[in-house]
């Protein structure tokens, strides 16, 4: 007896979806708190390479986000607000970075333009940096101190954590 075609299709779709979503990627290890942040090179939206986590004396707040993710988009206004308070200006002790993952580059650029992101923004082609940082889902925000040490990793929508976000940012100073 042969299975009807409609039974084969859903199984195929499920397997392909899991493979594409990274559910089978067992090599992604979460960042360890108080460990050095892994060095990486980010491609900025203008195509220029930018080394991240190799800026002695300057802390970093690195947010991994996706254009399709509602929580990523909802997080942007608070991140911009905190940037205006702590990251703006040449003498700033905190650098803000937004890294696009799990999105088509064009869609990510559209989101960056829509939100008028005022800080460093780049696209992680193939999610290589995200995997290096142990990031499997957006949005995720990594707090790195001026010595390049990971102090905190926050998984999820940060929009309802304004007090905590401000405190975690001040802790980097």
3-state secondary structure 54-92: CCCCCEEEEEEECCCCHHHHHHHHHHHHHHHHHCCCCCC
CA angle 29, 32, 35 (to 5 degrees): 125
Report the pLDDT value the prediction gives residue 26, as an integer from 0 to 100: 52
Cβ burial 85-101 (10 Å sphere, 16+ → b, else e) = ebbeeeeeebbbbbbbb
Q: Is residue 96 part of a domain?
A: yes
CATH of the domain at 92: 3.40.30.10
Average confidence (pLDDT) per 10 residues, the chain, 173 residues: 48 42 56 90 93 85 95 95 87 91 93 94 95 94 95 94 95 92
Q: Is residue 53 part of a domain?
A: yes
C-alpha distances (whole Å) from 168 to each of 5, 12, 160 are: 54, 44, 14
Gap between the Cα atoms of 55 and 94, Å rounded: 10
Q: Is residue 9 part of a domain?
A: no
Element (H, E) at 109: helix 105-115
Q: Is residue 48 part of a domain?
A: yes
Beta-ladder partners of 86: none
Q: Which two tokens stand for residue 97?
A: 């970075």
Q: Is residue 92 part of a domain?
A: yes
**Is the torsion defined by CA of 101, 67, 154, 24 positive or negative?**
negative
The phi, psi pair for 156, rounded to 5°, reads: 115, -175
Q: Is residue 8 part of a domain?
A: no
What's the number of domains the chain is made of? 1
Domain that holds residue 167: 27-171
Q: Comparing C-alpha atoms, which of 70, 75, 40, 76 is closest to residue 55?
A: 40
């Amino acid at each position: 007896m042969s299975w009807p075609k409609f039974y084969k299709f859903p199984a195929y779709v499920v397997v392909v979806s899991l493979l594409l979503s990274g559910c089978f990627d067992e090599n992604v290890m979460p960042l360890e708190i108080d460990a050095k942040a892994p060095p990486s090179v980010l491609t900025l939206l203008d195509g220029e390479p930018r080394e991240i986590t190799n800026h002695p004396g300057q802390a970093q707040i690195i947010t991994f986000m996706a254009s399709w993710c509602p929580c990523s988009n909802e997080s942007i206004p608070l991140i911009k607000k905190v940037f205006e308070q702590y990251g703006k200006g040449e003498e700033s002790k905190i650098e803000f970075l937004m890294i696009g993952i799990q999105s088509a580059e064009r869609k990510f650029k559209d989101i960056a333009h829509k939100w008028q992101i005022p800080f460093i923004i780049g696209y992680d082609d193939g999610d290589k940096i995200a995997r290096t940082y142990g990031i499997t889902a957006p949005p995720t925000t990594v707090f790195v101190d001026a010595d390049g040490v990971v102090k905190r990793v926050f998984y999820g929508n940060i929009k309802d954590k304004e007090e905590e976000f401000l405190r975690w940012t001040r802790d980097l100073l």
